[in-house]
A and B are shown apart, each in its own frame.
Chain A
């Protein structure tokens, strides 16, 4: 019996450019207790479907029922009941879901407490779930005291504590590294199966398919392929049900897909001169030791991908190169300048003159337009502002150059950050998860751009990433754990 029944769903939006169609007659059934994974490129309608299932949006046409609830007409107390009792929701922005003032135990039991459950019930449930997610001894910790992966596990546990009938997850591993992502997927499967919850999980990550009972592909606002049909993987690989994991099948692929994905660019060679290095650096934050005795050399014209688990210190390492933090010990050298010996202003000048920084896009100045963001960076470096447009076009944002950053999606903001770095053409470029919020197509495009930049300008690029699309374009992949002397 289906818990979720969607029939001919349409969702239209009015935009300045005209009417946009997010869903075009999508029909989908999800059986009770099933774990459905939904794949699809950016703009395919996955998030819209999820928002409708979460009763955050209503379809323009069509019908959608979850259990006994008709989501088209759900209002008032019924809507509240649906969200509070029937539905569990988790997305990649776990920080938003976790109140910073509450402890892990309180966060897990929050929903139950709000429903008026007794303290004993809340404590018991929270304790059990915390044990299940490996945070049994961290019940008194507040979110900022946990790693990214731990926080995401906590958010998932909090979303499931009330035993919802439908669990909806939107890119739950979006901000996690591959190892943490796999762990999270496994946890999700374990929990929802134990609870008997029906699950709809949206992801870019092919690894999600491993836990699915069924996989559907959405494209252009409707289901394009369901479980049993071929799913296109990176690099033209197919996943054929029934075959063992790891086996490769070479054969004809959907021309459409092949044309859509940008071709892989050969990574640049890693044989240039050393332009930046960290030597035996150690860093701690309070009592927490991030890493110790790490050394790394970065060469001109090469793309270096630093990988590792969330919380392993990849971002910190990049910040050391950029002079945004100082090591507790060790040396940081960028083009002959001892960055660790400079004052704050000196390090700022290093960033201005030598090191470009690509953030994850969430920290862009919100009131500037995309073009102004890039132009400001160029102006700060004394470069002509004309290159801004070219850079934005290169990342596919030519049409949005006049849009304020605050109105761009997270993925678009991330591309602005990349464009800014590309336009500046610094000798050294550090990029922290530059493709974390991008779909596969855009991620590959960014990877290609980085490779191209390195090759043509000799920029040394250091990326902290877990994205295979980016790693593919790297000259060298270095797990952080291997950098410890």
Chain B
């Protein structure tokens, strides 16, 4: 036979074909298969692409969220904290560098930090210029920082003519030739100049500014070179001028700039808001890390789809293996076919998915207000993210390859698959991670355990999916037994599922994964959204909460005496065994209807808790109407007297009656209304000062005391005494007063000798004795209390707490330390009038702030995207199952057709199978989603805005949306299945 050598002429030595050639054939075969079977391959690739896309979108969203959080926080900083500044202070005549050299040096150093040129400020030390005591200075680009209120902006200075503008203070006009004030202005709110000029006001010298530092430098001012001044080169850090991904290098750039300046002059300093920004970044990192939950879920979905898709190809690969074995292929060559297919599908799908996900992420970034291009460049094209993406693609290809080739092994009569082994490993990881604690804000900041915990949901889902696969067979057998009396079509469908679960199991597993992730995403999203609502109402338990403004030192009694609402006392305290707690005293009706309460805070309702605080008798602070004149007599040492009066509006006035020695007195109180509740006796101030001085200079203890007798008249006659004072007769008190004791004469108060009933947090309750009593240290007083109920949380309080009835508390506390305790808050439904000089917090504003938080929005938006994508994949999985069934059942369907089954009956067979698979998968998925939701809510204790959750998140299952979504999935899948089977002849 020409061209063919005979067997006898062949030497049968090993033909040394090239390795390259031996590899080329299986690779070429695999690529040919992909081309020929493009439709089937396409579906598999689609699922993988979607998973990869979801991952890319998550990464971009994470970066966008971090950046937006940073921008928001920067915007909230005071302008002076929001700038990078190089500052030089000194006397020019003493400097080695001329002003021009200083300027060149500073600009060259500061400009590269943010890539923007600084503007200059020059400020002279406060001095007298031409008879006017002013702050004289100059600012570049004055128009940008001032709001002219009178006159006009000054023109840049000339040598002999320098226009100035005044800010604050009485009108000033230096009598110097060449200087004249042409207007008045105020600083713009965003001007970063406060630290140079301070708060202007009538008590500060006026500020006179020229327009432009350079021109101002040419003005002839007397002895200017000898006058100390400050020069600053300032670059405002406006929101959006610096991004999260630039922060890592910002600190290094500042350090370099500092070193550069110090080499030339040690008077230079450079500063930037790095500490503040680092703190902001830590918070935003929590939010980004939390998104790992979704990233992990996306990865599981990706791998799950890869396994499902492989199932369809696995049958082919068994035949390929057989065929190639007979064709003399080596094991490596056969493996190369499967590996080429797996890698080709995964690589192409991953790249496409990554690109599409990038597009989706860009849209999400824009919605969050982050720069899309830069966000993308610094997220998914960063080294770490690319490495993660490549690793995941490799893992997907490996999973596909294993799924194509994995064999089962039999152990003790049971067949163990690769999936079983992986599930056991995942379960071990879950248990180990759970043992290590919660993923709260601090652990998420630092990474490590907290971050690992975020991957738990994905692992748990995987374990649940494998369990579902294991449970499936007995379940299907049960269904088959139950269907034995049904007509042929459903009976055959159940038989086919029970006796050949095969790919059906994979379809169910995938549905459990996809639907589980979707249900979890919906539920977790609803939980976060609801959590924001809970958080707002917890932080602000009434529509408005009015508090004292500590900068203005206006009490609520002074600022809002007429505002209706519940008065509340808030104070700090401690007890033995409890480091600190918040004491909250409010009226019982307010407690019974407190806003922000949740049923899981306590086993008792607020009304029941309020009932527990009900005092045996009305608790009203006892006293006598304040006399206009107080008459008293002293026989003995000099003492100071103070009358404590409770004002009608609820606060106290300490009426200082002065220090008096022996004698009789009638002193006016200068008060018309009020309730005198105590008379305080004090050691004379001078004597106290001398004694303190002696103790400080020597090692002696000075035990001076004032001794004597005090007689008082009027309503004080029936009063009690304490702290070194004793009653010797009606209105007659013998005193021994020193610096140590708090000597008080007062009436019997209703709480005297009684325990204060309180509701306490668990730690405080545990610190109480077996009878529930403990001593509360609040301020300078020690209050004996009894815990009558426990609650895990109380609205407006973070940490441990004690809640008391307000009148009871006021009576008790002011009996021990008269005049110190008065309500400091008002919880009201009514909006305070504008101009109220108090701090007002609105519940609605709090909610709005939480809702608009970019981190929260990013998280909830992404959860919605994940849910929708997972549901779409579930639909795709069901359609894939139908297509697979059509292919897999082809021979069976052909036989049924040959025996007279109509197309409708054949379709019914397929659709029944799909419906069973769908029902099992969806049902299992709902359960899995609920389990994962509970797990996540219990271990990830941060809110939508990545803050510590207070109150803790409570799972909201969002039944409505989940039911609607699943109904859509079922409808879409049914439509897809019907369409797929419609073309059956």
Contact = CB atoms under 8 A, between A and B. Distances in A.
Interface of A: 80, 83-85, 89, 96-97, 99-102, 110-111, 113-119, 124-125, 127-129, 132, 158, 162-165, 191, 194-197, 322, 324, 344-345, 348-353, 357, 359, 362-368, 372, 376-377, 379-381, 404, 420
B693 interface: no
A51 B17 CA distance: 29
A96 B899 contact: no
A195 B6 contact: yes
A76 to B, nearest CB: 10
Interface in B627-662: none
Given A83-B325, A110-B327, 15 more contacts: A97-B326, A102-B32, A114-B22, A115-B15, A116-B19, A117-B17, A195-B4, A195-B6, A344-B985, A363-B898, A365-B496, A366-B500, A376-B488, A380-B488, A420-B899
B323 A365 contact: no
Pick the most buried of B22, B322, B900: most chain A CB atoms within 10 A of its CB.
B900
B1 A132 contact: yes
B328 interface: yes
Pick the most buried of A96, A99, A119, A349: most chain B CB atoms within 10 A of its CB.
A99
Contacts of B6: 163, 194-196
A352 B8 CA distance: 60
Interface in B894-915: 894-905
A230 to B, nearest CB: 33
A97 B324 CA distance: 9
A85 B7 contact: no
Contact of B7 (A84, A89, A118, A197): A197
A127 B1 CA distance: 12
A100 B316 CA distance: 11
A403 B651 CA distance: 95
A80 B492 contact: no
Nearest to A83: B328
B703 interface: no
A114 B902 CA distance: 46
B8 to A, nearest CB: 5
Interface in B879-907: 891-892, 894-905
A115 B328 contact: yes
Contacts of A96: 319, 322-323
B25 interface: yes
Given A110-B327, A114-B333, A128 B902 contact: no
Given A96-B319, A195-B4, A114 B36 contact: no
Interface of B: 1-8, 10, 12, 15-19, 21-22, 24-26, 29, 32-33, 36-37, 319-320, 322-331, 333, 488, 492, 495-496, 499-500, 891-892, 894-905, 985
30 contacts: A83-B325, A97-B326, A101-B33, A113-B21, A114-B22, A114-B329, A114-B330, A115-B22, A115-B328, A116-B16, A116-B19, A132-B1, A162-B328, A191-B1, A195-B4, A345-B904, A348-B902, A349-B900, A350-B900, A352-B899, A353-B900, A359-B894, A362-B891, A363-B898, A365-B892, A376-B492, A377-B899, A379-B488, A380-B900, A404-B499
Contacts of A85: 12, 328
A348 B894 CA distance: 12
A116 B22 contact: yes
Given A83-B326, A83-B328, A110 B25 contact: yes
Contacts of B333: 114
Contacts of A372: 495
Nearest to B325: A83
A165 B12 CA distance: 9
Nearest to B889: A365
B425 to A, nearest CB: 31
Pick the most buried of A117, A191, A350: most chain B CB atoms within 10 A of its CB.
A117
A129 B4 contact: yes
A203 B492 CA distance: 38
A99 B1 contact: no
A352 B900 contact: yes
Given A115-B22, A324-B898, A367-B495, A128 B327 contact: no
A126 to B, nearest CB: 10
B15 A117 contact: yes
| In the A-B complex, the 9 residue pairs with the closest CB atoms | A116-B17, A84-B328, A352-B900, A367-B499, A351-B900, A196-B7, A348-B902, A128-B3, A357-B898
Given A99-B320, A128-B4, A132-B1, A367 B900 contact: no
Nearest to B333: A114
A345 B900 contact: no
Contacts of A80: 328, 330-331
Contacts of B29: 99, 101-102
A208 B496 CA distance: 41
Nearest to B32: A101
A399 B712 CA distance: 121
B898 A113 contact: no
A101 B28 CA distance: 11
A128 B1 contact: yes
A444 B11 CA distance: 48
Contacts of B19: 116
A97 B7 contact: no
Contacts of B903: 344-345, 348
B362 to A, nearest CB: 39
Pick the most buried of B18, B21, B492, B895: most chain A CB atoms within 10 A of its CB.
B895
Contacts of B900: 348-353, 380-381
A114 B327 contact: yes
Contacts of A89: 326
Nearest to B30: A101
Pick the most buried of B2, B12, B905: most chain A CB atoms within 10 A of its CB.
B12
Nearest to A375: B488
Contacts of A129: 4
A74 to B, nearest CB: 14
B528 to A, nearest CB: 47
A97 B323 contact: yes
Contact of A99 (B323, B492, B895, B902): B323
Contacts of B329: 84, 114
Contact of A363 (B32, B36, B328, B892): B892
Contact of B496 (A113, A352, A367, A381): A367
B56 to A, nearest CB: 33
B516 to A, nearest CB: 29
Contacts of B3: 124-125, 127-128
Contacts of B24: 113
A362 B4 CA distance: 38
Pick the most buried of B19, B892, B905: most chain A CB atoms within 10 A of its CB.
B892
B18 A116 contact: yes
Contacts of A191: 1
A177 B33 CA distance: 31
Contacts of A83: 325-326, 328
Nearest to B328: A84
Contacts of B322: 96
Nearest to A359: B898
Contacts of B894: 359, 363
B22 A366 contact: no
A234 to B, nearest CB: 30
A136 to B, nearest CB: 12
Nearest to A190: B1
Nearest to A319: B898
Contacts of B488: 376, 379-380
Nearest to A91: B326
Contacts of A163: 4-7, 10
B262 to A, nearest CB: 70
A320 B24 CA distance: 46
Given A80-B328, A348-B901, A114 B25 contact: yes
Contacts of B330: 80, 84, 114
A97 B320 CA distance: 9
B384 to A, nearest CB: 40
Nearest to A322: B898
B493 to A, nearest CB: 11
Contact of A165 (B7, B492, B495, B892): B7
